[in-house]
Amino acid sequence: MDDIVADGPGGRTSDAGTTRLAAYNVENMFDRPAVMDSDDWMRGAEVLAAHARVNELIQLAVYDADTRAEILEQLAILGLVRSDQSEFAILRKLRGRFLLRRRDGTTEVVADGHADRVGFVELTTEPVTELASTHTAMVMRDVGADVLGVVEAESRPVLEMFSSVLLRQVDWTPYDEVLLIDGNDMRGIDVGVLSRAGHTVTDIRTHVYDRDADGVVFSRDCAEYHLRTPGGERLVVLVNHFKSKGYSTPGDPLGGERRRRQAVRVSPSMKTWSPRATSTSRWSAT
């Protein structure tokens, strides 16, 4: 039977019969939303909240007077009332008309609902520095995990490119399998898993559609990866990033409630795959 151990400092290889697990916030491999590296913490929190809220409003089937007013309020925070691009955000219009910007300086939401236009607001990005990317690769190398859960990665191709190129540059071997499912967050900060040394992913399940009485549960995903270890055991890994505290106000009640809902939803999954349930299954949550 394989021993499942958490990561420890300086370990580059696992002992025979041992699976080394780790979780790491990579904070994007190559491009990261510019506002997330802003020196003005309060401004960053305001922009991120407005970005999330305006995209929720844009998806509504009907825009009433209150919805139109709030859309304009959120766009003002993002600097998009009079222009489709600002320092931290871009208004993407794929089809239909959304805003009427008059010469007198006023702006009106002219769409009646989501069906009238297809589009969204995205955050502007800036390149992650070469030094930061190298440091991320060095951390992965030094931890030496057989199964590595990552959060805040742009996409599966980007994550695989990072593994195949930058890990070699720091004298480490790429991972054999690199998997990531797009989550609910539009900022390109998804969760994924990398595995090596005979640890093979056999099943994947996404939880982006999980709902409770208050709506969608997970801000990103609680991706469920089932792996087979070299010793034949089943290892179940739940990769998650609960609602962030990074840009919340002190004692944020909404964020705290969202994290509680997420914990409540994860709990049954952990009980289902508890090692006490079967001698040939192990679970880990990141």
Q: What stretch(es) of the chain map to CATH 3.60.10.10?
A: 3-30+128-285
Please give the pLDDT value at position 146.
Answer: 95
Number of Cβ within 10 Å of residue 273's Cβ equals 21
On whether the CB atoms of residues 4 and 236 are closer than 8 A, the answer is no
What CATH architecture applies to the domain 3-30+128-285? Answer: 4-Layer Sandwich (3.60)
pTM above 0.85, yes or no: no
Q: In the numeric block, which tokens belong to residue 108?
A: 């009106």
Residue 282 clears pLDDT 60, i.e. is over it: no
Q: What is the pLDDT of residue 172?
A: 92
Nearest CA among 169, 179, 230 for reference residue 205: 179
Q: Which of 6-20, 26-40, 41-55, 265-279 has the highest mean pLDDT?
A: 41-55
pLDDT category at 116 given cuts 50, 70, 90 is confident
d(CA 253, CA 251): 6
In DSSP terms, which residues pair with 281 in a beta bridge? 234
Which of helix, strand or coil describes residue 190? strand
Q: 3-class DSSP state for residue 180?
A: strand
For residue 49, what pLDDT is reported?
84
Q: What is the pLDDT of residue 9?
A: 41
The mean pLDDT of 152-162, rounded to a whole number, is 88
Which of 219, 217, 211, 165 lies closest to 191 in space, CA to CA?
219
pLDDT higher for 57 or 252?
57
Q: What is the mean pLDDT of the chain?
A: 82
Residue 37 predicted with pLDDT over 50? yes
d(CA 275, CA 199): 18
Question: What's the pLDDT score for residue 277?
Answer: 37
Q: Does residue 11 carry a pLDDT above 60? A: no
Q: What is the pLDDT of residues 201-218, one digit of tens each?
A: 999 999 989 999 988 888
End-to-end CA distance of the chain: 22
